[in-house]
Amino acid sequence: MADAKWFGIDFGTTNSAIAFYDGRELQRPTVDPGSANPLVLPSLLYIDRQQQPVAGTAAAQRYLQNETGRRAAWEKRRVGEIEVVTSSFSYVQTVHALVDTGAQGRLLQYIKTALRDSGYDGTQVFDRFYTIDELIALILRPLKASAEQQLNRECQNVVMGRPVKFSADPAVSERAQEILYKAARLAGFADIRFEMEPIGALYFYHRTSPQRELALIFDFGGGTLDLTLAEVGGPTPPNIIATLGVLVGGDDLDRRLMQYLLKYFGGMPPAGRRASLTRALPPDVLDLLENWQTMPLLSRPHFLKILNEYRADNPTAIDALLTLVTRNLGFQLFREIEQTKIHLSDAPLTELKFNYADIHIRETLTRYKFEDLIAPEVEAVDSGVRQILHEAAIDPDRVDVVLRTGGTSAVPAFTELLADIFDRSKIRSLELLTSVVGGLAIAAHEDRAAHEDRRPSPAYEAIYPKNPATVITEIQAETRQDYELYEFRIGAPCYLDFPYRVSRIPVALSALPAIRTAQADKGEVAEEFLCFQLARSATIYIAYDADAAHVPHWLDSFRREPGSVEVDQLGTPRLFKVYAKEFPAGRVTLGGNRAAGSAGNIFMNYLIIIRSTPAG
């Protein structure tokens, strides 16, 4: 591996970066010339109505230019179908939603935090659904392209950074890492390894430390705080003693500042009036104001009616709120909030000003006030640092150096917290936005990621084989011999004989091998219609027409899976229920689409998706 070309990538909640290390020189390419730090790409994604994506600073500029200040124009539109399941019956229901027809594009931020949600598969952007691995790939691709162009080398190998934990639930963390793997593959990488982000920062420091030290890596980014205790420096490789993830990040601090500003939008009684004379806005309204991406929902007719009912009590605040949500100003306001947070890291006070039509915010914020607002987050961080020391049975006095990295680690409250636990002289600041990615590249070169406990990629390579024909062979249908393998993704043609395409899937099925069948075979009744060989045991998923009143008897032994698949039948969406069953290695036989037991209006032939079981 040391002779191979490997990139390190830090896909972050707020910023992302890429690096390359050849054993002598660490190179961090320019990835966003328009950014304040051109070595990092803001993890922003803007997708327009033509489904053209733009990432980074350009995404923010496009959104501000096209969307900020315009009025929302909501219309009811059909967006798809869902299956409603009860204990005794199920049915398919057409789903309509209010759509902002004036939008020219959609801006997505904090994509990484969606990996914490086990129920999140992706999002609809106008007339196309994107699985979350596709969204992440749209951030990774420009990183890869920029690095290859500037380094004049093509590279398909990458060490991806990941938090110590995405979630308190290990299953959610495993799911999140698998999604990252699929995203990296979709971005063009073939050999994909993982390393915890604080280990990257550790390697960055280890490379320049001539003597052995006990270090605490304090990696505090936009989404999570990652802590690592390790012995670093000198001629021997780092020795990891303990790691811990704390689910708090810089975006939580932004939300605290927004909560403070809710007084300008009806979040508390205006000055000089008794609370008894002013009704508080409903909690569901205030909750939507804590995230700029949910603010526009308040411009929908249902919420506008509610807000207008409160206007008589507090016209100034409600007019400001109506302007905020109907003119798509949330992103711009949160940019000011973020700048305020940054200024308070350098100065004891700053002024937050935001003026637009009915909005007139002028707030002098002191560092003391800010620290009071973020007290819950400070407490969580303090608890995390003390927990990792306790679990490792290490007294703070034994720690030689505390290494801060990540943008949020620059907030003085956290520097003071560390100084209270350790001696202030021990605290060092690494390059806040690029030390992790630099360390990931170094770790890749020094073969760190090749250890079995650090390289889950081989297991994923069994599930998502580069050549599915090594796992699935001898495909034979009774009617024709050209059934073929393909990768199950949004936009993939799913039949040999009709141009129908996959339009919506659970992310769990994304990128798995699938067998492309023939729609003309939808009426086949044979009990043994399709056969193929499995080189290893696998779970076989069958997506069956949801309009069926009953599936064939050969499907009765399959279990019903959550979620559904949608196929675009030349503009008509067709919904499929998903069924699954485990099969050992060897010959698999499936029945026809209309075999005995099937009943109802069955318009589409079934789809076949296969998830191989990794060895061991």
Side-chain-side CA neighbours of 33 within 13 Å: the count stands at 3
Phi, psi of 73 (to 5 degrees): -130, 95
CATH architecture of 7-67+103-189+433-461: 2-Layer Sandwich (3.30)
What single DSSP character describes residue 613?
Answer: P
Answer whether residue 405 shows pLDDT above 60: yes
CA separation for the pair 345, 411 (Å, rounded): 5
CA separation for the pair 415, 49 (Å, rounded): 44
Instruction: Tell me whether the CATH fold assigned to 7-67+103-189+433-461 matches the one assigned to 208-432.
Output: yes
Answer whether residue 2 shows pLDDT above 90: no
Mean pLDDT of 307-328: 92
Answer whether residue 491 shows pLDDT above 80: yes
Answer whether residue 86 shows pLDDT above 50: no
Our measurement of the distance from residue 93's CA atom to the centroid of its chain's CA atoms, rounded to an integer in Å, reads 28
pLDDT in tens, 264-283: 998 865 454 444 456 778 88
CA separation for the pair 195, 436 (Å, rounded): 10
CA separation for the pair 518, 249 (Å, rounded): 49
When mean pLDDT is compared across 189-203, 356-370, 553-567, the lowest value belongs to 189-203
Side-chain-side CA neighbours of 341 within 13 Å: the count stands at 26
Answer whether residue 188 shows pLDDT above 90: yes
* Residues composing the chain: 616
pLDDT in tens, 35-83: 889 999 999 999 999 999 999 999 999 999 998 888 877 776 665 555 5
Mean pLDDT of 80-99: 54
207: pLDDT confidence band, cut at 50, 70 and 90? confident
Pairing between strand 213-220 and 191-196? unpaired
Q: How much is the pLDDT for 83? A: 53
Please name the residues in contact with 573: beta carbons below 8 A apart, sequence gap of 6 or more. 80, 81, 503, 504, 566, 567
Domain residue ranges in the chain: 7-67+103-189+433-461, 208-432, 464-612
Answer whether residue 359 shows pLDDT above 70: yes
The end-to-end CA distance of the chain, in Å, is 24
**DSSP string spanning 542-580?**
EEEETTEEE--GGGTTSEEEEEEEEEEETTEEEEEEEEE
According to CATH, the superfamily of the domain at 208-432 is ATPase, nucleotide binding domain (3.30.420.40)
Q: How much is the pLDDT for 450? A: 44
CA separation for the pair 407, 16 (Å, rounded): 12
CA-closest candidate to residue 147, choices 229, 299, 292, 32: 32
CA-closest candidate to residue 19, choices 273, 231, 192, 200: 200
Answer whether residue 3 shows pLDDT above 90: no
pLDDT in tens, 443-468: 888 764 444 444 456 689 899 999 99
Look over the chain and give the mean of its residue pLDDT values, rounded to a whole number.
90
Q: How much is the pLDDT for 77? A: 63
The answer to whether 552 touches 603, Cβ cutoff 8 Å, is: no
Mean pLDDT of 563-574: 94
Please name the residues in contact with 71: beta carbons below 8 A apart, sequence gap of 6 or more. 102, 326, 327
CA-closest candidate to residue 250, choices 221, 284, 209, 210: 221
Answer whether residue 563 shows pLDDT above 50: yes
Q: Locate 98 and state its tokens.
A: 């209010």
Please name the residues in contact with 450: beta carbons below 8 A apart, sequence gap of 6 or more. 1, 193
More confident residue, 615 or 37: 37
